[in-house]
Amino acid sequence: MNNTTGAFGGDPMLAPRYMNIPTFMRTPFADDPSDVDIGLIGVPYDNAVTNRPGARHGPREVRNASTMMRTIHHVTRVNPYSLCRVGDLGDVPLPHLFDDQAVVDDIENFYRKVAAAGVTPLTIGGDHSITYPILKALGTKQPLGLVHIDAHTDTWDQFLNTKFSHGAPFRRAVEAGVLDPKRTIQIGIRGAQNADEGWHYAQEMGMRVVFIEELTERGCAEILEETRQIIGDRPAYVTFDIDSLDPAFAPGTGTPEFGGLTPIQAQALVRGLDGLDLVGGDVVEVSPPFDHANITALAGATMAYELLCILASARSSKAE
| Residue ranges that bind Mn ion, judged by CB under 5 A | 128, 150-152, 154, 241, 243
Q: Which of 210, 213, 236 is nearest to 223 (CA)?
A: 210
Amino acid at site 224: L
Contacts of 127 (CB under 8 A, 6+ apart): 45, 46, 47, 48, 49, 55, 166, 254, 284, 285
Q: Which of 22, 169, 21, 31 is nearest to 104 (CA)?
A: 169
Give min distance, CB of 155 to Mn ion, in A.
Answer: 10
Q: Which of 117, 50, 96, 45 is nearest to 282 (CA)?
A: 45
Strands 120-125 and 38-43 turn out to be parallel
Which one, 150 or 306, has the nearer CB to Mn ion?
Answer: 150
Give min distance, CB of 167 to Mn ion, in A.
Answer: 7
Which one, 88 or 127, has the nearer CB to Mn ion?
Answer: 127
CA distance 92 to 211: 33
Which one, 91 or 243, has the nearer CB to Mn ion?
Answer: 243
Which one, 73 or 172, has the nearer CB to Mn ion?
Answer: 172
Give min distance, CB of 295 to Mn ion, in A.
Answer: 18
| Half-sphere CA count of 80, side-chain side, radius 13 A | 28
Are 181 and 174 spatial neighbours (Cβ–Cβ below 8 Å)?
A: yes
Give min distance, CB of 245 to Mn ion, in A.
Answer: 10
Give min distance, CB of 175 to Mn ion, in A.
Answer: 17
Which one, 30 or 284, has the nearer CB to Mn ion?
Answer: 284
CA distance 152 to 271: 21
